Amino acid sequence: MPSIKGSEIQKFKEQFRSREGIHLNSAGQSPISLRVQERVREVVELQARHASFSDPELVSMLTRARSRIAGFLGADPKHFAFAPNVASAISQVALGFPLKPGDRVVTIDQEYSSQFYPWKVACERSGAELKVVSSDAHAQVNLDQLFDSIRPGVKVVSVSWVQFKTGSILDLRMLGEHCNKNGAFLAVDGIQALGQLPFDFNSLPVDFIAGAAHKWMASLLGQGFFAVKPELMKHLVPLQIGAGTFSAWGRDFDPKASMVETASKFEPGAFSFVSLFALDSAVELFLETEMHGIEAEIARLSKVLREGILSLGISLSTPKDQRGGITSFMLEPERESRFLSSCRNSGIAVMKRGDFIRISPHAYNEDFEIERVLEVLKESAS
């Protein structure tokens, strides 16, 4: 399949020309664009030069960022909140939801620890049951078992849209509709999907989605966010309380004050403006490029990668035609060691996750980078 030339994708790629080495670990951490780098410098300079004089400008920038990032998710800004990271966002829904003995929560055995542990602790504290659905023999999500586990008595189903080791992808519409029929809320960890797959919160039967900036969103570490539907939000108790919970910035306390009714009640204190506005610039770039184009380029590069791996006689753990940019496979131990060592020595970023080697190209990657990692993989056989 030929590369997409003369398009917005090429402009997107040019935004990452300052990176060094071959970055094929977007599922772990992406490099940041020139635009994000410039925005970081601007925000730091603004605060360095003007300090509190910059407050009105920062508030205006924050309002625009909230609207833009919420819009990127297809969410109303009133239902959107910033968080330090995905673990904080998941903890808010898990520990803020009123579970009680006899309730059930359903999740999957492939989940990343930041998605799994908040629910483990929430169920231990409340006396609710945590049902962990086993994957199939090919390390893909077993949809039959997952759907069979969602029945009356299940209060929340909490899963990753894209699994971090194998890239296994869930059909959120089908899953959400099944949850609705059984009276369960659907909470989604979207960190491995947002930035590579199009998403529309308002049109999907998803009650909560969390994401973060540093993976497929190609921005700075330390910035999370989430969107929550009103029906679920009214059940959630904020875990951290501050001026933001009551929209009381710069004012003394009022004993009669009420919490705000929007998702900003989950934002208790001051923001990290550098990482927040960096994410805003990253989202601006994604919106200009359009997600369908980014998704198509990731799919094209992944197809070249997967066909190359198969041509070397290596079996894929990720289905060849699966959507998304995560490609996983296994090698026998000695060859795996040679391959990973050669990648490190050659400045190629790939990742070992569990039993799998995971390669995750983004739309900023080039064909020669895919060809180079395949060369190293071929050389590892000897």
d(Cα 72, Cα 337) in Å, to the nearest integer?
A: 40
pLDDT greater at residue 139 or residue 369? 369
Q: Is the pLDDT of residue 364 over 90?
A: yes
What percent of the chain is modeled with pLDDT above 90? 92
Q: How far apart are CA 344 and CA 350, in angstroms?
A: 8
* pLDDT score recorded for residue 250: 81
- Rounded CA-CA distance 16/230 in Å is 38
Asked if the model's pLDDT at residue 315 lies above 80, the reply is: yes
- Render pLDDT for 60-75 as a digit per residue (tens, 0 to 9): 999 999 999 999 999 9
Please name the residue ranges forming H helices in 150-192. 172-181
CA dihedral 348, 351, 352, 358 (to 10 degrees): -100
Neighbours of 129 (CB within 10 A): 15
- pLDDT band for 140, please (50, 70, 90 cuts): confident
Angle at which helices 333-346 and 367-379 cross, to 10°: 140
The SS3 call for residue 32 is coil
pLDDT at residue 2 is higher than 50: no
> How far is the first Cα of the chain from the last one, in angstroms, to the nearest whole number?
30
> What are the structure tokens assigned to 49, written together?
């030069």
Among candidate residues 234, 236, 235, 214, the one with its CA nearest the CA of residue 225: 214
Quick one: 258 exposed, middle or buried, by C-beta within 10 A (0-12, 13-18, 19+)?
A: exposed
Give the pLDDT score at 3: 44
Task: Decide if pLDDT at 108 tops 50.
Answer: yes
Give the whole-angstrom CA distance, residue 186 versus residue 154. 10
Q: Return all residues near 65 (Cβ < 8 A) that are at least 6 apart.
A: 276, 277, 279, 280
Could you tell me the residue ranges of all domains in the chain?
Answer: 8-31+290-379, 40-288
3-state secondary structure of 349: strand
Flag whether pLDDT at 153 surpasses 90.
yes
Tens of pLDDT, residue by residue over 207-244, are 999 999 999 999 999 999 999 999 999 999 999 999 99
Following CA atoms 120, 126, 129, 134 in sequence, which dihedral angle do they give, to the nearest 10 degrees? Answer: -10
pLDDT on residue 142: 87
Q: Which residue is listed with tokens 């998803």?
A: 206
When pLDDT is averaged across residues 328-349 and rounded to a whole number, the result is 97
The whole-angstrom separation of Cα 285 and Cα 107 is 33
Secondary structure class of 197 (helix, strand, coil): strand
Conformational region of residue 280, where left means phi above 0, alpha means psi within -120 to 50, and beta covers everything else: alpha
| Residue % of the chain over a pLDDT of 70 | 98
How far apart (Å, rounded) are the C-alpha atoms in residues 235 and 253? 25
249-260 pLDDT per residue, tens = 888 898 989 999
Taking every pair of C-alpha atoms in the chain, what is the biggest distance, in angstroms?
Answer: 74
Q: Please identify which residue in the block is written with the tokens 């759907």.
A: 147
Paired strand residues for 360: 25
What is the C-alpha separation between 309 and 159, in angstroms, rounded? 29
| Residue carrying structure tokens 């799994």 | 116
CATH superfamily of 8-31+290-379: Aspartate Aminotransferase, domain 1 (3.90.1150.10)
Residue 351, phi then psi, degrees to nearest 5: -140, 145
The structural architecture, per CATH, of the domain 40-288 is 3-Layer(aba) Sandwich (3.40)
pLDDT higher than threshold 90 for residue 330:
yes
Tokens 């190293």 -> residue: 376
Residue 141 has pLDDT above 80, yes or no: yes
Question: Is residue 157 within 8 Å of residue 107, measured between CB atoms?
Answer: yes
Read off the pLDDT of residues 20-40 as tens digits, 9 standing for 90 and up. 999 999 999 999 999 999 999
Residue the block writes with tokens 């197809």:
303
Identify whether the C-beta of residue 382 lies closer than 8 Å to the C-beta of residue 375.
Answer: no
